[in-house]
Amino acid sequence: MRWGVFLIAALLFVALDISFMSVFAIGSITPQLTPILATFVALAAPRVTVMWACLLLGLLLDLCPPPIGEGLNAFQIAGPRALGYFFAANLLLPLRTMVFRRNPLTLAVLTVLFAVAASLVVVMIWTIRSSYPDAPVVFGGRTSLSELGRSALQALASGAAAIPVGWFLVRTVPIWGFQTHGQRLGKW
């Protein structure tokens, strides 16, 4: 995989997630592009490259505006999303040999799975952190369970967004430099 292409795409997708994607919001549910990119990479890149790429994507999201603690102190932590994405990537890696990647729904379904798996880790870490004495208000004041429900809906929205975005990403496969068999990604 060409890391330059990936870094540009990562910055672009994260920037769009934090600015543009709320145009598709239904209530508080906003689809996200970053899990789509992570899933796309996880389907095609070598195993260790996938892990690095997902760690980097999660880290970029960790560095987005954080929860706010007591006295309006920002609670910026590097780790929860990076670990969440790492966990989700490791969940997808064994599955990618079993899926039919030419099907346009594959990326959508796996994006849902990826986003749900990542959110499990994120919610777990923040739930543990919320027991710290100087903990911020996490999940906008919701409980961990309702946050998991919200994350599942968000994952579904991201999965829906993955159909058109995935179509576009597959068109760009030649510039990514994946060393995989062309037929595995195929043409939609």
Residues interacting with other proteins, by CB under 8 A?
11-12, 14-23, 25, 28-30, 32, 34, 46, 48-49, 51-52, 55, 59-61, 63-83, 86, 125, 128-129, 132, 134, 136-137, 140-142, 154
> Minimum CB separation from other proteins for residue 99, in Å?
23
> Minimum CB separation from other proteins for residue 88, in Å?
13
> Minimum CB separation from other proteins for residue 63, in Å?
4
b/e sequence 55-92, b meaning 16+ C-beta within 10 Å: bbbbbbbbeeeebeeeeeeebebeebbbbbbbbbbebb
Report the residue count for the chain: 188
b/e sequence 15-24, b meaning 16+ C-beta within 10 Å: eebeeebeee
Handedness of CA 29, 32, 35, 39 (dihedral sign): positive
Between 136 and 166, CB nearer to other proteins: 136
> Minimum CB separation from other proteins for residue 137, in Å?
4
Which residues touch 172 (CB under 8 Å, ≥6 apart)?
A: none
Between 1 and 108, CB nearer to other proteins: 1
CB 147 within 8 A of CB 79: no
Between 52 and 109, CB nearer to other proteins: 52
> Minimum CB separation from other proteins for residue 187, in Å?
29
Between 108 and 157, CB nearer to other proteins: 157
Cα separation, 24 vs 32, whole angstroms: 10
Q: Which of 21, 144, 133 is nearest to 80 (CA)?
A: 144
Cα separation, 173 vs 186, whole angstroms: 10
> Minimum CB separation from other proteins for residue 149, in Å?
13
Between 99 and 153, CB nearer to other proteins: 153
Between 99 and 156, CB nearer to other proteins: 156
